[in-house]
């Protein structure tokens, strides 16, 4: 059907240019809001009427007369109707709708995919500092980031996954000090444990039991290895720098285990410290100064960020000589541009909203050729976890929050991914653990996966060659349920494109739930393995194509498509 739609759109464009030269660029199809009105629609008559000084309905009538005479419309279109002031509704013949099965069965996993565009993009996500296990919020980031990478890859982008983390600074110092106290035999609550709420360093000491585990392994002189580093402990409790390096490597390893359980892989881990050691932060500041976008006031260096839409100018370097946190962010994003990534997406919590304007202002002020609006941001809210009707706020592992691995262990990788992607990122979400393990139609991931498994069971019972289904006669697919399923399959590529453009992987979950429901309705309406061989093969082709699209969509989300359940 996609080929049919492309062919009809080409005819519409040519016809417009023939009747009213220069108007062909307005050719566009959309889906009617009411399915009964047709399969395709165009509002081009109403768009052109004013400029051509014609009545839109009369314009639509002239257009329809010409379209009806074209071979493509004669072949594929059942009816052309004009509604209201000039809407043109198009009802396709069953044969046109059936063509999508040829496309799905021929293309397989490539159905919905666009060819390589030769464009590079980077998606930065998770980016957790190595101070503790990954929590559920990081899980939402991981699901969003991985799905967005898959979506853009489906649209022909060369996608690069990056994890950025702060391997220095106050938080890492606090981690080292917390671990050192544990290694010395102290614990939260002891008299020596910092508790001063007015001391920024003290109040952030890490109290989770995982700190005791790090301390024990440090004393045991263990070696830890993560994706980007390894370190062997000295066992010396006075070796604070050694404790720091060991704790960072230990927690990076723990985060790797979290990500492995979630089936997320990164192409690169980028260290904030490297921005300083390589001189990139100093270079970024120098470029801002040379561009005349900074000034000194009250002993500090300021960026004129209001020149670029920020609500106030921002301090870059404080009186004590240290940089504020957005300065390395500017330097980091300059490196992204210099590495050849023309599109960059950052996935962060909504608490980072305030940094967007100042980072973009810094990038524009640096005058290094970066376009406005670079980078893109996807901001997400945190996630509440409910189990047995009660909110779960802490984890035995972390001590103060639910970890990603807890959630996976309680449910499954598939459930966590699908659930965390089932809402817009910026909407509040409550993860219901009991629903995620339920084996019924109320559980959305079970409902979708069961549709796939149900089809696999039918195909297994048939036992024939799946490749042969691409050649069968499809004319038997005439029922309302079959035609509805065909139309929905045809929408998959456009849905993928729109989901990528809108940074909306939740659209994929909505589509898959709709496709599963449409299949279940079809299965209940028509028996597939009937005695009539022609009818049976046509119906098998339909369900095999449905299974393929379900697999393709689930793969975008990073969710499996089981053959048995």
- Domain positions in the chain are 2-92, 170-251, 278-380, 441-557
For residues 378 and 133, give the distance between their C-alpha atoms in angstroms, rounded to a whole number.
22
Model pTM?
Answer: 0.90
For residues 172 and 174, give the distance between their C-alpha atoms in angstroms, rounded to a whole number.
5
Q: List the chain pLDDT tens, one digit each, 565 residues.
A: 678 888 999 999 999 999 999 999 999 998 887 877 888 999 999 999 988 888 999 999 999 999 999 999 999 999 999 998 899 999 999 999 999 999 999 999 999 999 999 999 999 999 998 888 899 999 999 999 999 999 999 999 999 999 998 887 788 888 999 999 999 999 888 888 876 555 544 456 888 889 999 999 999 999 999 888 899 999 999 999 999 999 999 999 999 999 999 999 999 999 999 999 999 999 999 999 999 999 999 999 999 999 998 889 999 999 988 898 889 999 999 999 999 999 999 999 998 888 899 999 999 999 999 999 999 999 999 999 999 999 998 665 556 688 899 999 999 999 999 999 999 999 999 999 999 999 999 999 999 999 999 999 999 999 999 999 999 999 999 999 999 999 999 999 999 999 999 999 999 999 999 999 999 999 999 999 999 999 999 999 999 999 999 999 999 999 999 999 9
Q: What is the 3-state secondary structure (H, E, C) of 419-445?
A: HHCCCCCCCCEEEEHHHHHCCCCCCHH
For residues 217 and 221, give the distance between their C-alpha atoms in angstroms, rounded to a whole number.
6
Sheet of strand 300-303, all strands in order from the earlier edge strand to the far edge: 294-297, 300-303, 314-317
For residues 333 and 359, give the distance between their C-alpha atoms in angstroms, rounded to a whole number.
8
Place of tokens 């449409």: 518
Tell the CATH superfamily of the 441-557 domain. Answer: Isoleucyl-tRNA Synthetase; Domain 1 (1.10.730.10)
Confidence (pLDDT) at 202: 45
E strand map for 361-422: 376-380, 383-387, 390-391
Look up the CATH number of domain 2-92.
Answer: 3.30.1360.70
Bridge-partner residues for 386, per DSSP?
391, 432
75-81 contacts at long range (C-beta below 8 A, 24 or more positions apart): 76/4, 76/7, 76/8, 77/8, 79/38, 81/37, 81/38
For residues 506 and 499, give the distance between their C-alpha atoms in angstroms, rounded to a whole number.
8
| Tokens representing residue 211 in the block | 């700190």
Confidence (pLDDT) at 204: 63
Tell the CATH superfamily of the 278-380 domain. Answer: HUPs (3.40.50.620)
In angstroms, the Cα distances linking 344 to 121, 160, 356, 371, 437 are: 6, 10, 13, 11, 36
Helices (H), 69-169: 71-76, 94-107, 136-154
Is-cis flag, bond preceding 205, omega within 30? no
């Amino acid at each position: 059907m996609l080929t049919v739609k492309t062919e009809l759109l080409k005819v519409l464009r040519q016809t417009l240019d023939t009747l009213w030269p220069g108007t062909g660029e307005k050719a566009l199809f959309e889906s009617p809001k009411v399915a009964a009105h047709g399969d395709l629609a165009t509002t081009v008559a109403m768009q052109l009427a004013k400029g051509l000084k014609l009545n839109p309905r009369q314009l639509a009538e002239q257009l329809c007369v010409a379209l009806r005479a074209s071979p493509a419309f004669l072949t594929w279109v059942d009816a052309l109707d004009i509604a209201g002031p000039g809407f043109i509704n198009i009802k396709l013949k069953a044969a046109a709708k059936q063509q999508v099965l040829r496309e799905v069965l021929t293309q397989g996993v490539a159905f919905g995919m666009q060819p390589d565009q030769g464009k590079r993009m980077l998606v930065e996500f998770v980016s957790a500092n190595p101070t503790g296990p990954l929590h559920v919020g990081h899980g939402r980031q991981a699901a969003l980031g991985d799905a967005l990478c898959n979506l853009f890859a489906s649209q022909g982008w060369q996608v690069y996954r990056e994890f950025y983390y702060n391997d220095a600074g106050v938080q890492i110092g606090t981690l080292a000090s917390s671990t050192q106290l544990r290694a010395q035999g102290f614990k939260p609550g002891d008299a020596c444990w910092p508790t001063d709420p007015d001391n920024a360093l003290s109040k952030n000491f890490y109290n989770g039991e995982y700190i005791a585990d790090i301390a024990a392994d440090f004393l045991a002189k263990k070696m830890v290895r993560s994706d980007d580093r390894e370190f062997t402990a000295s066992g010396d409790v006075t070796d604070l720098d050694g404790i720091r390096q060991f704790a960072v490597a230990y927690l990076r390893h723990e985060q790797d285990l979290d990500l492995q359980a979630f089936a997320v892989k990164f192409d690169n881990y980028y260290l904030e410290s490297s921005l300083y050691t390589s001189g990139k932060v100093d270079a970024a500041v120098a470029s801002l100064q040379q561009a005349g976008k900074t000034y000194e006031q009250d002993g500090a260096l300021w960026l004129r960020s209001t020149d670029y839409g920020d609500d106030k100018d921002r301090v870059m370097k404080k009186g004590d000589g240290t940089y504020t946190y957005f300065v390395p962010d500017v330097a980091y994003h300059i490196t992204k541009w210099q590495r050849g990534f023309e599109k960059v997406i950052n996935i962060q919590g909504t608490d980072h909203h305030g940094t967007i304007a100042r980072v973009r202002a810094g990038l524009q002020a640096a005058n290094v050729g970066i376009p406005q609006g670079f980078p893109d941001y996807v901001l997400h809210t945190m996630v509440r976890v409910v189990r047995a009707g009660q909110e779960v706020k802490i984890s035995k592992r972390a001590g103060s929050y639910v970890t990603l691995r807890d959630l996976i262990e309680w449910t499954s990788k598939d459930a966590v991914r699908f659930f965390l992607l089932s809402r817009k990122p910026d909407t509040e979400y409550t993860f219901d653990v009991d629903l995620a393990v339920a084996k019924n139609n109320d559980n959305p991931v079970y409902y979708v996966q069961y549709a796939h498994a149900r089809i696999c069971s039918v195909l297994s019972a048939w036992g024939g060659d799946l490749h042969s289904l691409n050649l069968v006669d499809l004319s038997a697919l005439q029922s309302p349920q079959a035609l509805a399923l065909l139309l929905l399959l045809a929408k998959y590529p456009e849905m993928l494109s729109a989901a990528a453009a809108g940074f909306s992987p939740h659209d994929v979950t909505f589509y898959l739930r709709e496709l599963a429901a449409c299949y279940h309705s079809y299965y209940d309406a028509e028996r597939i393995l009937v005695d009539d061989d022609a009818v049976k093969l046509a119906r098998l082709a339909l369900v095999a194509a449905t299974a393929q699209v379900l697999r393709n969509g689930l793969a975008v989300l990073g969710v499996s498509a089981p053959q048995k359940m």
